[in-house]
């Protein structure tokens, strides 16, 4: 598990790390900690390392914790964030960027461990990930969160069930290997792959997903799509 701590006060990071290591040891988790004193370094590191969880101080010079979180969300990075602050006034703002939790400094060990236990429940859920190249670096996509994929020029648009779209720099053929019928997806058109679990209805010319997306079915793909869909539904 990769956990990053970003705080402009190094003594706070030094105090938090032993608590995280203690929790990981008690849970039998192999933990790698990353320490940052500014948001720019954290953003750069996350692009290559794909952190599992981030502890982020809200009040920092230059780039605040909320600014960093907005940067992650604007680039479709759904990494869980636990905000750290000595003031409760930013609690409402933390919901704007879908913070996983919000802890007041100095951090109480019992509350910290409880937040970590809650995170572990979601972390341990069986998930299939696809790590893809983006214009900024890399992002990790949960395949179950994908509504459909769309090939567009030299990139692939990954449309998520939450309404977001991630542009990735991967070959559509590579995506088709990951988002395959074995994993619950089907290529209904040479430029589209749809999540079969999200299919609301379909005709000979188009598919409508449960998230109101309408995507085409090509004449050559219809028979194979129909067979794959019903095989998926009656597994």
* Per-residue pLDDT at 96: 77
* Per-residue pLDDT at 113: 97
* Per-residue pLDDT at 214: 96
Per-residue pLDDT tens listing for the chain (235 residues): 999 999 999 999 999 999 999 999 999 999 999 999 999 999 999 988 889 999 999 999 889 999 999 998 887 678 899 999 887 776 666 777 888 999 999 999 999 999 999 999 888 765 678 889 988 888 888 888 899 999 998 899 999 988 889 999 999 999 999 999 999 999 999 999 999 999 999 999 999 998 889 999 999 999 999 999 999 887 6
Alpha-carbon distance of 34 to 178, in angstroms, equals 30
Handedness of CA 142, 147, 148, 153 (dihedral sign): negative
Q: Which two tokens mark 32?
A: 């790698």
* Per-residue pLDDT at 154: 87
Which pairing describes strands 2-6 and 53-57: parallel, antiparallel, or unpaired? Answer: parallel
Q: Report phi then psi at 159, rounded to 5.
A: -90, 120
Instruction: Go through 180-216 and write b for each residue having 16 or more CB atoms within 10 A of its CB, e for each that does not.
Output: ebeebbbbbbebbbbbbebbeebeeeebbbeeebebe
- 214-216: strand order across its sheet: 199-202, 206-209, 214-216
Residue pair 139/50 in contact (Cβ under 8 Å)? The answer is yes
């Amino acid at each position: 598990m990769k956990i990053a701590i970003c705080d402009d006060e190094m003594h706070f990071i030094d105090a938090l790390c032993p608590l995280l290591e203690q929790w990981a040891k008690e849970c039998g988790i192999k933990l790698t900690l990353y320490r940052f004193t500014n948001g720019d370094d954290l953003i750069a590191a996350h692009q290559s390392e794909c952190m599992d969880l981030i502890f982020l101080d809200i009040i920092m010079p230059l780039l605040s914790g909320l600014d960093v979180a907005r940067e992650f969300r604007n680039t479709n990075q759904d990494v869980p964030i636990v905000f750290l602050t000595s003031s409760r006034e930013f609690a409402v703002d933390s919901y704007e960027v879908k913070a996983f939790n919000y802890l007041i400094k100095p951090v109480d060990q019992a509350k910290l461990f409880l937040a970590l236990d809650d995170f572990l429940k979601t972390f341990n859920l069986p998930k299939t990930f696809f790590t893809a190249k983006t214009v900024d670096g890399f992002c990790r996509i949960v395949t179950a969160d994908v509504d459909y994929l769309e090939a567009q020029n030299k990139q692939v648009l990954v449309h998520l069930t939450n309404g977001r779209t991630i542009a990735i720099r991967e070959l559509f053929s590579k995506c088709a290997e990951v988002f395959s019928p074995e994993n619950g997806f089907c290529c209904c058109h040479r430029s589209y792959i749809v999540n079969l679990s999200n299919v609301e209805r379909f005709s000979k010319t188009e598919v409508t997903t449960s998230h109101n997306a309408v995507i085409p079915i090509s004449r050559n793909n219809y028979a194979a799509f129909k067979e794959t869909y019903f095989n998926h539904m009656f597994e």
